[in-house]
Structure 1
Amino acid sequence: MYKLIFINLFMFCTFIIPMQVFADDNPTPAPGRAEIPVLKNHYHLKPGYYDFSNIPVVKITDNIGFRFIMSTQSTMIEWTLKKGAKLPAHFHLNEQINIVESGKLDAFSDGKKYALKAGGIMVFPPNVPHEFVAVEDSVFLDIQTPARQDFLAPDFIEKLRKILSVK
């Protein structure tokens, strides 16, 4: 039953990123750089620069922590897993690109095990079941598109804690 809850949880969530994570509210002018005059008056969104190290890590369990940032189209999550920690089998409508920053992880999908190490990249298309087990203390980035709207639900963190605390 917890797998179904996990699936539904990850398909529909609020974690407001505090304003102090902006590393540079006043960028240096660079006229003519990365400007396309024909498009300039047709886009209204502005780029944002963040100091990811200022975003607090949310401790989900004793062995799992994460922090994330969302844009209009994607979500980037940094997972911190202690040796033996598991992100159980689940799937979601988001394409997922994982980049291992440090440590070693086993990723499972379609009855196969993939041994991931620092520098490794794993891509899961939408709706493809997958799970992770930390072979050693590990940190990995998880970039998902479209943006994870479920992360904005007020009870998201508590639901995630319940799911990931199940042995």
Structure 2
Amino acid sequence: MSNATAQTAGAWTQVDEKVRRRILSHTPEMMVVEVEFQPGGYGPPHAHPHLQSTYVKSGSFDFTISGEMRTIGEGDSIVVPSNAVHSCQSASGGGLIDVFAPAREDFLTP
């Protein structure tokens, strides 16, 4: 018997004027989040204890992880280690699917 549960995507949360996100599904152990960037959207440098995997749904993104910059495009993915300082920017705009383990509790509170 499976413990998996289907969930409906949550409401969009406006992060800033060019970035918004919504939780697609989550359990305490894992969270899937969709993030949309308008052209010029920027995720400033930050770190968190969660392991993060990011899949580029559309567009192109410049990721900097622990001081190393890498450009990834549609269909590419990247893993951000726990506690690594990272940021991303999209000149063209686009969409990401982020997976966090464990879930980002801070995304669940208003």
Between the aligned partners of 2:62 and 2:56, the Cα distance in structure 1 is 11
Identity among equivalent positions (%) equals: 23
Residue equivalent to 1:47: 4
Structure number with the higher strand fraction is 2
Between the aligned partners of 2:66 and 2:15, the Cα distance in structure 1 is 27
TM-superposition CA deviations, 1:70-106 (whole Å, max 9, x none): 2121111111001111100011100000000000000
Of 127, 152, 155 in structure 1, the residue corresponding to residue 83 of structure 2 is 127
- RMSD (Å) for aligned C-alpha atoms: 1.6
TM-score between the two structures when normalised by the length of structure 1? 0.60
Task: Please say which structure displays the higher CA radius of gyration.
Answer: 1
Partner of 2:4, secondary structure, is coil
1:112–1:84 distance in 2 versus 1, CA, 3 Å: same
**Deviation, structure 1 residue 147:** 1.2
Counterpart mapping for 1:51-130 below 5 A: 51-52=8-9, 55-68=10-23, 69-130=25-86
Between the aligned partners of 1:112 and 1:135, the Cα distance in structure 2 is 18
**Deviation, structure 1 residue 137:** 1.3
**Deviation, structure 1 residue 150:** 1.9
Residue equivalent to 1:42: none
Q: Which AA in structure 2 matches 1:146? A: P
Q: Which AA in structure 1 matches 2:11? A: P
Between the aligned partners of 1:152 and 1:62, the Cα distance in structure 2 is 20
Q: Which AA in structure 2 matches 1:50? A: Q
